[in-house]
Amino acid sequence: MLLLNLRFVNLNKLFRSKPCSLALPPDSPLRIEEPIYKGLRRFLLKMMLFYSKQSKSIRQANVIYRRVVSQADKPAIYDAFRLEKTFRTNFSMLVVHMWLCLRRLKAEGKEGVELGQYVYEIYNHDLETRVSKAGVNLLLSKWMRELEKVFYGNIVAFETAMLPGAKHDDLLNAVWKNVFAEDGSSKLDAAALPAVMAFTRYIRRECICLSLTDKEAMFSGNFMFTPLDNPKP
């Protein structure tokens, strides 16, 4: 549902600035570093496979997913794009930001794809918890299957719209249908157009920003999506 009674922000001016890396600076308090243990504790943790590739990947995936949730759950993103925060719109935001992360990780090859799979598994577990909290306890597995179809359908739509041969409005239409349209209608509401266009620019800009974000920052989760508390051009 489009919200029209929020403070005025000129959506036409948003997300036109030059993209930049989303990596957190070394002194940022938001950084999450791998714990460093020594002596007996390190030995015991090593015996418990704390330092195995799988364990490290799971820790990294948890941090990456925290970045996704941080952006998708903030009221600011709904305010910025004139959306009411509901289960549907929140799910849509999760999907968009999951896609952005998975897309960037995939660019790092097999290692990135494998890490992305861990992120997806964490997302899936979190989504099941969210569905339960929304009051869906009966037929939970059916709901999860349906949401999985929506997840992959949205990702295909967004990815196709970003292909070199895609039409200019393909991403705009995908954003409208999969994020803004309550009934999945393909007919764009003129009143929502400024917000849809702004969100489309946001997606394109975040894609470029993530491409400028180095591998270490992506794999460690030490990056943050563009803040939307006080959206700027």
Residue 229 domain-assigned (yes or no)? no
pLDDT bucket at 45, cuts 50 / 70 / 90 = low
pLDDT of residue 130: 93
Is residue 13 in a domain? Answer: no
Measured CA to CA, the distance from residue 98 to residue 64 in angstroms comes to: 9
pLDDT digits (tens, 9 = 90+) for 109-157: 999 999 999 999 999 999 999 998 887 766 788 889 999 999 999 999 9
Sign (positive/negative) of CA torsion 185, 188, 192, 193? positive
Q: What integer pLDDT is reported at residue 232 of this predicted model?
A: 62
pLDDT above 60 (res 1) = no
Q: Hey, what long-range contacts does 189-192 have (CB within 8 A, 24 or more apart)?
A: 189/2, 191/2, 191/4, 192/2, 192/82
Domain-located, residue 98: yes
Predicted pLDDT at 87: 94
Average pLDDT over residues 33-54: 78
Greater confidence, 148 or 4?
Answer: 148
Alpha-carbon gap, residue 69 to 123, rounded angstroms: 9
In sequence order, what are the beta bridge partners of 223? 23
**Closest to 2 in 3D by CA, of 199, 189, 134, 232:** 189
Q: Tens of pLDDT along 188-223?
A: 888 999 999 999 999 999 999 999 999 999 999 999
pLDDT of residue 233 exceeding 80: no
pLDDT band at 6 (very low <50, low <70, confident <90, very high): very low
Q: Does 42 fall in a domain?
A: yes
Range of the domain at 199: 22-220
Backbone angles phi, psi at 223, to 5 degrees: -145, 160
Which pLDDT does position 108 carry in this prediction? Answer: 98
Residue 4 falls inside a structural domain: no
- In angstroms, the CA 166 to CA 161 distance is 5
Q: Residue 63 CB: number of other CB atoms within 10 A?
A: 18
Per-residue pLDDT tens over the stretch 61-116: 999 999 999 999 999 999 999 999 999 999 999 999 999 999 999 999 999 999 99
Which two structure tokens, joined as six digits, stand for 78? 């709904």
DSSP label at residue 14: T
- d(C-alpha 94, C-alpha 77), whole Å: 12
User: For 50-62, what is each residue's pLDDT tens digit?
Assistant: 778 889 999 999 9
Q: Structural domain tally of the chain?
A: 1
- Alpha-carbon distance of 161 to 179, in angstroms, equals 14
Q: How many CA atoms lie within 13 A of 48 on its CB side?
A: 7
The reported pTM is 0.90
Q: How far apart are CA 172 and CA 103, in angstroms?
A: 18
Q: How confident is the model at residue 231 (pLDDT cuts 50, 70, 90)?
A: low
Q: Over 60: is that where the pLDDT of 2 sits? A: no
In a domain, 50, yes or no: yes
Burial annotation 167-180 (CB, 10 A radius, 16+ → b, else e): eeebbbbbbbbbbb
Answer yes or no: is 228 within a domain.
Answer: no
